[in-house]
Structure formats: C-alpha cells, structure tokens
Amino acid sequence: MITRTPRHRPAAEGGYQRGEETRAKIIEAALGLFGERGFEGASTREIAEHAGVNAPALVYYFDNKEGVYQACVEYIMTSVGAYFADAVAAAQTVLEGKPSDDELIDAFRVIQARVASYLFTTETPATWRLFMAREQAGLGPAFSAERLNERMRKPLLSVSSEIVGRLLGRPADDPETIIRLLAINGQLVSFHLTRCTALSALQWKSIDGERLQQLCALIDEQSVILLRAMVDMREANKQRRKKK
C-alpha cells in the first residue's frame, strides 16, 4: 500500500508557532492512545479529544489516522536518531580506516554505552515506551515497520553488525554475525523489557546510581569477553584453513 506523507503546515489563523503547538498536542495524545490501545483501538475522535482540539484540526494536519501514526513514528525516530548520531558516526569513522581489533571493540563499547544510557537514564515518557513496545513486538501497522527499520534500527544495526562481522571474520549480513550481535545486545534489552523481574531477582527498588554503574560495568565486561572470544574464533578458523 502506498501512503501519502502527512501534511506539515501551520494553522491558517495562528501562524506557524501555533500550528506547531497544535501538531505537538495531537502527537502527544496519539502516542498515549496508540500505546495503550494499538493502531486499530484508537480513533481519531478520541485522539482529538485527548489533544483538546476538534476533529477537523486533526484532519487538517494529518489527513487521517494513518497520517497521525506516521507522525508519531517520525517524532520518535527524530529524537532517538539524534541521541545515537554521534556514536554511530564515530563508529563509521573507525570502520572506514584500518582498525585494530581493540579499536573495533572500543567502538562497539561506545555504542553499547550509549544504548545503556538511553534505556536507563533518559526521561523517556511512558507513552513512548508503550508505543515502541508494540512496535518491537510487531503489533504496529505494517506501513510503519519499514520506516522504523530504515531510520532508527538500521543505522545502529548496520554499524554494529559490521564491527561484529569483522571481529568474527564473517560478512556483516551473515546469520551468525546477526545472531551473535543480537545476543550481545540482548543483555541490556532484557533488563529494560523485564525490569520488574530483574529488580525482584536482584532485590533492588530501582536501577540507578551505583546500581546502574554496576550493571553497565558488568555488561561491558561481559561484552568485551564475548567480542574477544570472536577474535579468537576467527584466528582459530584461519589456522584450520591453513592446515588444509
């Protein structure tokens, strides 16, 4: 299905600033309702009511519910993309040279540290978490998945898989490369997605301060062990091939 890009225009009687404020109210309300009820469960009428605007205003800015959802996706992607941009750019710069294994591992650690910071220290609204949890679970509408992958997931995945691939001596898109990358990333994601279970097991009330430092330090240490093990595997494979 081909979808139109939602219109982005100021209100006719309030100027550009007022138009942006109205758009922001609608997006904020939509994030909450889409997160709670999903795309099918939230109506444009309810979104407009929660935003404190009339239904024609929503249609004016976004055309329809699909347009509102796309705007929510774009809003989150822009924020998240900016948060990771410098870490991704730094890793790409490393990859463009002739990096040593230690430099590759350090580049990966910088990215992982940024992911940890985003997951545990940013003031992400609960509405965002619910919205993205549905997307991560594949419960969002099909038209949003491709844009999320292209704008938000792909940059991080591409640079990280290239690093892991080089350490393994395999292509970045090799299934083993991707599986090992996702397994390493899962260390942080599991604490984020199953926070209540983790807190209960650790008998902690929260993950912050010294506890967050301990968590991140141990995961970083474990990641380095795994990444260095990949290098050892690569070198062992080289030796086996030489003997044949």
Single out the residue of 144, 149, 150 nearest to residue 67, CA to CA. Answer: 144
Reply yes or no on domain 73-235 having CATH 3.40.50.300.
no
Per-residue CA distances from 77 to 72, 194, 217, 224 (Å): 9, 23, 28, 29
Helix (H) or strand (E) holding 63, with range, is none
pTM of structure? 0.76
Looking at residue 3, its pLDDT comes to 44
Q: Which CATH number fits domain 15-65: 2.40.10.10, 2.40.30.10, 1.10.10.60, 3.40.250.10?
A: 1.10.10.60
Q: Sign of the CA dihedral 120, 121, 123, 128?
A: negative
Instruction: Quote the pLDDT of residue 124.
Output: 67
Q: Where are the domains of the chain?
A: 15-65, 73-235
pLDDT value at residue 16: 46
Task: Give residue 9's pLDDT.
Answer: 53
Positions of the chain with pLDDT under 70: 1-18, 124, 126, 143, 145-153
Say if residues 211 and 116 touch (Cβ distance below 8 Å): no
Which residue matches tokens 């055309």? 63
Query: 61-64, long-range: CB within 8 Å, 24+ apart, which pairs?
Result: 61/6, 61/7, 61/8, 61/9, 61/19, 61/22, 61/23, 61/26, 62/6, 62/7, 62/26, 63/4, 63/6, 63/7
What is the percent of the chain with per-residue pLDDT over 70, rounded to a whole number?
A: 88
Is 111:87 a contact under the CB 8 Å cutoff? yes
Q: Are 60 and 51 in contact (CB under 8 A)?
A: no
Q: What is the pLDDT of residue 135?
A: 77
Whether 153 and 80 have beta carbons less than 8 Å apart is answered as no
Check residue 137 and report its DSSP letter. T
> Encoding tokens for residue 104?
């590759």
pLDDT tens digits, residue range 86-123?
A: 999 999 999 999 999 999 999 999 999 999 988 888 77
The pLDDT score that the predictor gives to residue 196 is 87
